[in-house]
């Protein structure tokens, strides 16, 4: 019995060590590729003597990021606030409408085509029209919502319709009400799909906010990073443009990472997609 316990302990230790090695490789490999890309970038600029207004080196971009940090940070906060507002509206509206669709097939048939129209219409074409009727900041939030809304709606609707038919029949057999079936069967089945849609919507809301800021032409102290990028292009301040793009990319990565972490925390104990990551 003691030998069996010792073997189990050794297996757990080996499994833990294997997970640590795998986690270290997963972190080290992207960092190594990033470092190689930065080194290659710096060498290309130096060897070809490329002027900064064409392609600045990574050191100059980092220096510009530090020097212009107060301006870029303020613009980043403006863009992130717009992104958060658009994402929250898309999440609440998409999930609520999907719940209505799950309760009424006729409502889904009547409204889903208009949601598709919003999805396939380029937001850059909608923004100038909205500027005629809405305040400028409201237009930016609405554009972020339009871009992020459909993935939440479609994924949640798919999840609600993917509940096991045998379990649906069992619930009906035991006389479960619509609310009970929704709460105890359909919502748990739809949760992985909804979280997947939210991960997609997080990045899309940032894209929608940036596109809307450019289309709206917002300027001044409350302008977002998109305006700073456009302004840098007009003034040939390419190092600041690269610094602003770097901040935007970093913000998108952080948004996706946070949403992926929330998804993993909610699914890790019971759903296959999360269990496979821990195995």
> Same domain for 128 and 260?
yes
> Same domain for 24 and 103?
no
Handedness of CA 124, 130, 131, 136 (dihedral sign): negative
Token pair 């190689």: residue: 36
Give the DSSP H or E segment for 31.
Answer: helix 2-48
- 3-state SS string over 73-91? HHHHHHHHHHHHHHHHHHH
> Same domain for 34 and 100?
no
> Same domain for 167 and 139?
yes
Question: What does the chain come to in residues?
Answer: 279
In tens, the pLDDT along 187-215 reads 888 899 999 999 999 999 999 888 888 87
In tens, the pLDDT along 204-243 reads 999 988 888 887 765 444 578 888 888 888 888 899 999 9
- Concatenating the DSSP letter of every residue in 224-265 gives -HHHHHHHHHHTT-HHHHHHHHHHHHHHHHHHHHHHHHHHHH
Q: How distant is the alpha carbon of residue 86 from its chain centre?
A: 12
Give the CATH number of the domain where residue 134 resides: 1.10.3720.10
> Same domain for 6 and 137?
no
> Same domain for 19 and 116?
no
> Same domain for 110 and 11?
no
Please name which of 56, 22, 17 lies closest in space to residue 38, comparing C-alpha atoms: 56
> Same domain for 45 and 64?
no
Domain total of the chain: 2
Binned at pLDDT 50, 70 and 90, residue 255 comes out as very high
- Beta carbons of 156 and 190 less than 8 angstroms apart: yes
> Same domain for 121 and 228?
yes
> Same domain for 38 and 63?
no
176: domain range? 57-278
Predicted pLDDT at 224:
84
> Same domain for 4 and 140?
no
> Same domain for 25 and 138?
no
Distance CA 181, CA 103 (A): 11
In tens, the pLDDT along 98-107 reads 999 888 889 8
């Amino acid at each position: 019995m003691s030998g069996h316990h010792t073997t189990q302990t050794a297996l757990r230790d080996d499994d833990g060590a294997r997970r640590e090695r795998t986690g270290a490789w997963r972190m080290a490999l992207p960092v190594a590729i990033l470092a190689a890309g930065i080194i290659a970038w710096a060498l290309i600029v130096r060897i070809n003597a490329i002027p900064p207004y064409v392609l600045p080196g990574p050191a100059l971009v980092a220096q510009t990021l530090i020097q212009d940090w107060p301006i870029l940070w303020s613009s980043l906060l403006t863009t992130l606030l717009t992104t958060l507002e658009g994402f929250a509206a898309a999440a609440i509206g998409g999930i609520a409408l999907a719940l209505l669709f799950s309760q009424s097939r006729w409502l889904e048939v009547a409204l889903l085509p208009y949601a598709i129209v919003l999805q396939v219409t380029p937001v850059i074409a909608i923004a100038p029209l909205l500027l005629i009727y809405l305040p400028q900041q409201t237009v930016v939030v609405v554009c972020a919502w339009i871009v992020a809304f459909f993935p939440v709606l479609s994924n949640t609707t798919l999840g609600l319709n993917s509940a096991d038919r045998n379990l649906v029949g069992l619930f009906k057999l035991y006389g479960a009400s619509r609310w009970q079936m929704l709460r105890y069967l359909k919502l748990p089945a739809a949760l992985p799909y909804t979280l997947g849609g939210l991960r997609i919507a997080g990045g899309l809301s940032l894209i929608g906010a940036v596109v809307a800021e450019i289309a709206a032409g917002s300027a001044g102290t409350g302008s977002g990073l998109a305006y700073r990028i456009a302004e840098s292009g007009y003034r040939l301040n390419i190092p600041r443009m690269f610094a602003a793009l770097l901040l935007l990319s970093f913000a998108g990565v952080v948004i996706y990472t946070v949403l992926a972490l929330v998804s993993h925390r909610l699914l890790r104990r019971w759903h296959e997609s999360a269990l496979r990551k821990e195995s």
